[in-house]
Structure 1
Amino acid sequence: MFDPVASDPTLSRLVDALAAAGPKALTAIRSARAETRERVWSLAGASSPDSNVQVIVDLDGVLVLAHSEKQDATATWKKTFGHHPLLGFVDHGSGGSGEPVAGLLRTGQRRQQHRRRPHHRHPTRPGPNAEEVPARAPSLIRTDSAGWTHEFVAWLAKRGRWLSYSVGMTTTDAIHHAVLKIPPAAWTVAVEPGGEIRDGAWVAELDGDCLTGWPKGMRLIVRKERPHPGAQLRFTDTDGLRLTAFATNTTGDPIAALELRHRRRARAEDRIRAARATGLRNLPLHDTAQNHIWLEIVQIALDLLAWMPMLALTGETRRWEPRRLRLRLFSAAAQIVTTARRRHLRFTTHWPWTGVITKALARLEALPNPG
């Protein structure tokens, strides 16, 4: 349907040329992705993450093993060898998937901070005194306990009204002793996505010495629950209940809702799985500059696999991951037929997802032409 596929040597020369350009090429690619994302989100309307109350960006690392000597490959924190890229994904919510907005290629060591802001544009509206204020709730940065450092949380807190955070925390001995002092009446029953009560799980907010040395306005919320099979417990866990904790600066919402919002960070694992299925299972090139370009190519592929469902698919099909999209949509047999000076794309009638494909193409054709 499109131009001939480039050969491997042609692609290799292109990657070498982009890598030789250094930061200039990366900046150009990221700017183009940001501009395209803004266009796609505006076309998607109610299906866009921009239509939600809050734009949520999940940060997570990906262990990429190296089976040969590659530049900057090191021993990882899991006692393997390779790299540990850090990616930021915009969460499309329960009705969609997600898309990458930032990526940083790192060595295998875990403790490297990510300071580059994700490339998405937060809409604004004119405010009093000609200031720009957020058109909705501040964007939320959500991460697991790997982000639990004074430096990272302080950096998030300095963003002020433009950024909120929800960061997982390790249950230290100090947190554990503080939990033991919480009166039974202070615990709130946890909730599930549908609003139903979570049997065997409770949440509470800590204060006092646990917040000493942390940024002003930080809230520490803990969850205790009956362990599911395979859950890791501490010897000191009270009554055999598993403890987890996270920090946030969001105010005005019930702590049970904040805890549910943080738990939804688990959807980032689905984004990581999609990235591995779209070229991030390994870094195929030797030089770090080349693998920087490769990481951008992977993100472009993930962008396309997120934007197409956002614009063309509905319902359950919006949550399909790359492997399912390839099997059901991208590998469908079709024939290009020219008749009456018009070109038609005909799909076989017995393919179970022909209706999904034709409806998706009709939705795409109905979109305004960007020119």
Structure 2
Amino acid sequence: MKTTSARRHVGDPALAWSQGLEVEVGGPGTVAQAGVVLPRLLADRLGLTTALAAVVARAGFFPLRHRGRALVDTTCALAAGATCLSDVEAMTAQEEIFGPGGGASDSTLLRALDELAERLGADGLPGRRLARATATARGRAWEAITSRHGSLPAVRVAGQDLTRPVTEPGSPRPVLVIRLDATLIEAASPKAQAAGNYKGGFGFHPLTGWCSNIGDALAVTQRPGNAGSFTAADHLSVLEASFAQIPASWRRDVLVSIDGAGASHEVIDYLTSVNTAPAHGRRGRRVEYTIGWPVDGRTMAGIEQLHERDWDTAVDTDGEPDPAAQVAELTGVLRAPHADRLAGWPADMRVTARRTPRPLGKPAKLGENPEWEYGAFVTNTAVGQVQFLDARHRTQAHVEDRMKQFKACGAANLPSIDYGRNAAWLQLAALATSLTAWLRHIALDGQLATAATKTLRFRVFSAPARLVTHARRRILKIPPGWSWSADLVTAWDRLQALHPI
């Protein structure tokens, strides 16, 4: 008689993982998204939590929820993947991390957004007190980065660091790079000041300023979708707000990079006026710019005067020759005696043209060259080969990576129909982007130090843990099987070592 086993077998062994598995609610002390303690602790150590509470404080009003805590927790939730107020409420509900009662409810968060919106100007930029609070925290973060690495990281251009040689002994000092760019945020429903944009969509068109050395957001201004890309007043507002966010010790050597939207008299004249190095030497402040320039009739007239020998082979991001592109300086032909096509523009402004072969199958429009596609930019950098200046200008494309981080931290969707609340939400999304950027430089190593926000979200912020109490100590235990558990512990220790505010 044949005997049979009582054990049930699954036909495909790959499906056996669910056999005998049960799912139920329980397990007190178990924590999800345990890695969110890192940006939370960093904000506390930099003094942001206390500073934000002071900024939104009102005389005679004592909220049950600490407003600085609620705003920082919202910022950390955005960094960890929250996309709306209900996501923030659900993520911060864990008492093991966020304390008794968990985080704030969505109604409390709406009131906190209202209070933050009152500290913003009509253009959505932070008022003086809020700007001072974020600038102070940024200064402490940059000081921690400098303390760990010896200096701020330098922007890479053509295979080398963008630095300024020093006369005294020591390493060359990195040039601080500020990049301005606008982005589109779609709105699925009617919201205050949402409007159609130039791409046929509907929503908002904020203008942003970034520090490329660190990757943090310096300034964000809320604008309707139909806001002009070439609005000089908006560029000047964001430029001034960005300069105000830079610690004083790093304002002496700055490069401002803008695409063609910044090619206006107002913007270039302003940058020329704040560049005091030519007049005052080492006592002044060097502010250089590289700005896209329109290839209009004036520019094409200069290009047509060039000879083939005037064009030089461009270089790529690694500093190697790029046979598919050529560059040439136009300043001489545009400023020809008795025919100065740049009259009225600053005398130190240089114009450089770039050309690439027109792709096969792409027809030229009326008046365009059938063989070449042209681009141009202007700069006030007095020295340097045009190939290097061209490569330096093309690093403006790196700002697209910053926009991805920005939208990954909550800026892809604005949660309210109210303009002020949405403007406040954008400020928190920018702060979340900055916190993750500071975290990479201050506390993380290897691939995590350069990882995108979505990568950090999976590897660090979403780490599981178990909270245990031993000898009056609370210990967050990360499973040893989590591949990045050691990185999380090391990062926590480094943040704990920062001087508490």
Task: Write the distance in 1 (CA, Å) between the matches of 2:262 and 2:176.
Answer: 19
Task: Write the distance in 1 (CA, Å) between the matches of 2:461 and 2:360.
Answer: 39
Shift, 1:294, TM fit: 1.5
Deviation per CA, 1:176-214, whole angstroms, max 9, x where unpaired?
232122122322221123221112211111022442332
Matched-pair contact (CA < 8 Å) for 2:178–2:212: yes
Stretch deviating more after TM superposition (34-43 or 193-202)? 193-202
**When the two structures are superposed, what TM-score results if normalisation uses the length of structure 2?**
0.66
Task: Write the distance in 2 (CA, Å) between the matches of 1:203 and 1:103.
Answer: 33
Matched-pair contact (CA < 8 Å) for 2:328–2:353: yes
Q: What does 1:174-253 correspond to in 2, within 5 Å? A: 174-207=298-331, 208=334, 209-227=340-358, 234=365, 238=369, 240-253=371-384
Q: What RMSD in Å do the two structures reach over aligned CA positions?
A: 2.6
Task: Write the distance in 1 (CA, Å) between the matches of 2:134 and 2:181.
Answer: 20
Indicate yes or no: 2:461 matched with 1:363.
Answer: no
Task: Write the distance in 2 (CA, Å) between the matches of 1:192 and 1:301.
Answer: 32
Q: CA distance change for structure 1 residues 342 and 282 in 2, over 3 Å: closer, same or farther?
A: closer
Q: Which residue of 1 aligns with 2:152?
A: 48
Question: In the alignment, which of 139, 152, 159 is matched to residue 254 of structure 2?
Answer: 139
Deviation per CA, 1:33-63, whole angstroms, max 9, x where unpaired?
1001101101111363589521111101111
Where relative contact order (Cα < 8 A, 6+ residues apart) is larger, the structure is 2
Shift, 1:233, TM fit: 5.6
Indicate yes or no: 2:302 matched with 1:172.
Answer: no
Q: Which residue of 2 aligns with 1:101?
A: 218
Q: What does 1:35-114 correspond to in 2, within 5 Å? A: 35-45=136-146, 46=149, 48-49=152-153, 52-92=173-213, 98-108=215-225, 109-110=227-228, 111-112=230-231, 113-114=233-234
Q: CA distance change for structure 1 residues 219 and 22 in 2, over 3 Å: closer, same or farther?
A: closer
Shift, 1:239, TM fit: 6.2
Task: Write the distance in 2 (CA, Å) between the matches of 1:217 and 1:21.
Answer: 39
Deviation per CA, 1:257-305, whole angstroms, max 9, x where unpaired?
1111110111101111111111111222223222221221111111111
Q: Which residue of 2 aligns with 1:123?
A: 248
Question: In the alignment, which of 84, 101, 106 is matched to residue 8 of structure 1?
Answer: 106
Stretch deviating more after TM superposition (45-54 or 242-251)? 45-54
Stretch deviating more after TM superposition (177-186 or 292-301)? 177-186
Q: CA distance change for structure 1 residues 240 and 280 in 2, over 3 Å: closer, same or farther?
A: same
Question: In the alignment, which of 273, 283, 291 is matched to residue 158 of structure 1?
Answer: 273
Question: In the alignment, which of 258, 281, 288 is matched to residue 389 of structure 2?
Answer: 258
Task: Write the distance in 1 (CA, Å) between the matches of 2:500 and 2:382.
Answer: 40
State the identity %: 31
Task: Write the distance in 2 (CA, Å) between the matches of 1:172 and 1:336.
Answer: 64
Aligned to 1:100, the other structure's residue is in SS state strand
Larger radius of gyration: 2
Letter aligned with residue 259 of structure 1: D
Indicate yes or no: 2:425 matched with 1:300.
Answer: no
Letter aligned with residue 250 of structure 1: T
Shift, 1:28, TM fit: 2.4
Consecutive unaligned residues of structure 2, counting only runs of 5 or more, are 1-96, 155-171, 277-284, 335-339
Matched-pair contact (CA < 8 Å) for 1:49–1:91: no
Q: Which residue of 2 aligns with 1:350?
A: 481
Indicate yes or no: 2:385 matched with 1:287.
Answer: no
Q: CA distance change for structure 1 residues 20 and 238 in 2, over 3 Å: closer, same or farther?
A: closer
Letter aligned with residue 67 of structure 1: A
Q: Which residue of 2 aligns with 1:30?
A: 131
Letter aligned with residue 149 of structure 1: S
Letter aligned with residue 245 of structure 2: H
Letter aligned with residue 207 of structure 2: L
Deviation per CA, 1:60-116, whole angstroms, max 9, x where unpaired?
111112233322222222232222110001002xxxx61110111112222433223
Matched-pair contact (CA < 8 Å) for 2:210–2:218: yes
Task: Write the distance in 2 (CA, Å) between the matches of 1:28 and 1:332.
Answer: 36
Task: Write the distance in 1 (CA, Å) between the matches of 2:385 and 2:453.
Answer: 36
Letter aligned with residue 216 of structure 2: E
Stretch deviating more after TM superposition (223-232 or 352-361)? 223-232
Consecutive unaligned residues of structure 1, counting only runs of 5 or more, are 126-133
Matched-pair contact (CA < 8 Å) for 2:348–2:380: yes
Matched-pair contact (CA < 8 Å) for 2:327–2:353: yes
Q: CA distance change for structure 1 residues 348 and 124 in 2, over 3 Å: closer, same or farther?
A: closer
Aligned to 1:158, the other structure's residue is in SS state helix
Q: Which residue of 2 aligns with 1:19?
A: 117
Matched-pair contact (CA < 8 Å) for 2:293–2:378: yes
Aligned to 1:58, the other structure's residue is in SS state strand
Aligned to 1:368, the other structure's residue is in SS state coil
Q: What does 1:323-342 correspond to in 2, within 5 Å? A: 323-342=454-473
Stretch deviating more after TM superposition (315-324 or 58-67)? 315-324
Letter aligned with residue 353 of structure 1: W
Stretch deviating more after TM superposition (75-84 or 253-262)? 75-84
Task: Write the distance in 1 (CA, Å) between the matches of 2:465 and 2:414.
Answer: 33
Q: CA distance change for structure 1 residues 231 and 239 in 2, over 3 Å: closer, same or farther?
A: closer
Letter aligned with residue 41 of structure 1: W
Matched-pair contact (CA < 8 Å) for 2:291–2:378: yes
Q: CA distance change for structure 1 residues 328 and 307 in 2, over 3 Å: closer, same or farther?
A: same
Aligned to 1:211, the other structure's residue is in SS state coil
Q: Which residue of 2 aligns with 1:128?
A: none
